[in-house]
């Protein structure tokens, strides 16, 4: 009993329509390769020339061309689609929510997660501060995915910089998460140093599958993202990695019995004291 899952890598531009066209090609490929679940990277719909470009394309929850695109692709390809992140309107006119939306194969939006931890980094060369244009979320989110074989999977949502905060993943694990999703746009500097280590750690400590689709390449703004989209098993083994820059599709079978066996052999989740 397994779930065929896909992590999609992109190099998004400031042009929403071009990015949606690219995403559609990758989603179609994932469907052809048998995926039931396809996960797009953070900022799949736009990486702009500046922090506030995303304000111009923000959408109210439940409507807008990006949300219609995700719903339509879910229906067209018969996929569960996790829409990386897109900018949804917030109460603050100068900031948006960086939101992950989940669509069922019927095209229904079944879950929303607003990124909780906002990235800030300054090494004297690269400077980022997401709080200038993004309003943080506050609630962890899980959803249930009934697979084609009848098994129900419990899936926890997170985004990029969240990866550095293991307490979020412990909360998701305590809620029953078997799969952890980490759509990302890691910088080249931080990704080269920590990306694989953090992904494998989150998988190992929660005995969970980790799917991490990423932005990977040089963007129009000159920003360089690390890529290396990855699928990691509950023992920390890397099942698939897109090592080159540029778009790509990773598909792997998430084996439920393999996970159950590991959790039985090493019942660390039952041994938690705090």
Q: Give the pLDDT band of residue 92 (cuts 50, 70, 90).
A: very high
pLDDT at position 199: 99
Q: Is the pLDDT of residue 239 over 90?
A: yes
Q: Is the pLDDT of residue 237 over 90?
A: yes
Q: Where are the domains of the chain?
A: 2-269
Q: Which CATH superfamily is domain 2-269 in?
A: Carbon-nitrogen hydrolase (3.60.110.10)
What does the pLDDT look like over 135-193, one tens digit per residue?
Answer: 999 999 999 999 999 999 999 999 999 999 999 999 999 999 999 999 999 999 999 99
pLDDT at position 243: 96
What does the pLDDT look like over 25-71, one tens digit per residue?
Answer: 999 999 999 999 999 999 999 999 998 999 999 999 999 999 999 99
Question: Of 36, 54, 59, 115, which one is the catalytic site residue?
Answer: 115
Give the predicted TM-score (pTM) of the model: 0.98
Q: Answer yes or no: 63 catalytic.
A: no
Q: Answer yes or no: 241 catalytic.
A: no
pLDDT at position 206: 98
Question: Of 45, 73, 160, 241, which one is the catalytic site residue?
Answer: 160
Q: Is the pLDDT of residue 274 over 90?
A: no
Question: Of 36, 42, 59, 130, which one is the catalytic site residue?
Answer: 42
Q: Answer yes or no: 160 catalytic.
A: yes
- For the chain, give the percent of residues with pLDDT over 90: 97
DSSP string of the chain, one letter each residue? -EEEEEEEEB---S-HHHHHHHHHHHHHHHHHTT-SEEEPPTTTT---SSGGGGGGG-B-TT-SHHHHHHHHHHHHHT-EEE---EEEE-SSTT-EEEEEEEE-TTS-EEEEEE--SPPEEESSS-EEEGGGTB-------EEEEE-TTS-EEEEEE--GGGGG-HHHHHHHHHTT-SEEE--B--BHHHHHHHHHHHHHHHHHHHT-EEEE-BBEEE-TTS-EEE---EEE-TTS-EEEE--SSS-EEEEEEEEHHHHHHHHHHS-GGGG---
């Amino acid at each position: 009993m397994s779930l065929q899952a896909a992590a999609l890598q992109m190099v998004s531009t400031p042009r929403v329509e071009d990015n949606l066209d690219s995403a559609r090609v990758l989603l179609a490929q994932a469907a052809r390769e048998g995926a039931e679940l396809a996960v797009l990277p953070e900022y799949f719909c736009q990486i702009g020339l500046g922090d506030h470009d995303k304000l111009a394309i923000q959408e109210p929850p439940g409507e807008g061309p990006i949300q219609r695109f995700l719903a339509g692709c879910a229906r067209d390809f018969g996929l569960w689609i996790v829409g990386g992140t897109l900018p949804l309107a917030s109460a603050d006119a100068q900031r948006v929510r960086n939101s992950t939306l989940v669509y069922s194969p019927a095209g229904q939006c079944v879950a929303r997660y607003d990124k909780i931890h906002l990235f800030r980094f300054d090494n004297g060369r690269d400077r980022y501060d997401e709080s200038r244009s993004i309003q943080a979320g506050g609630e962890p989110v899980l959803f249930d995915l009934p697979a084609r074989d009848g098994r129900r999977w419990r899936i926890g949502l997170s985004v990029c910089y969240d990866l550095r905060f293991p307490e979020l993943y412990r909360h998701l694990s305590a809620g029953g998460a078997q799969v952890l999703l980490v759509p990302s746009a890691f910088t080249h500097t931080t990704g080269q140093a920590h990306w694989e280590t953090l992904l494998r750690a989150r998988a190992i400590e929660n005995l969970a599958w980790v799917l991490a689709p990423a932005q990977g390449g040089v963007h129009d703004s000159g920003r360089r993202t690390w890529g290396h989209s990855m699928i990691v098993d509950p023992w920390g083994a890397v099942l698939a990695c897109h090592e080159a820059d540029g778009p790509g599709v990773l598909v792997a079978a998430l084996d439920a019995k393999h996970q159950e066996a590991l959790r039985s052999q090493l019942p660390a989740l039952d041994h938690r004291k705090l």
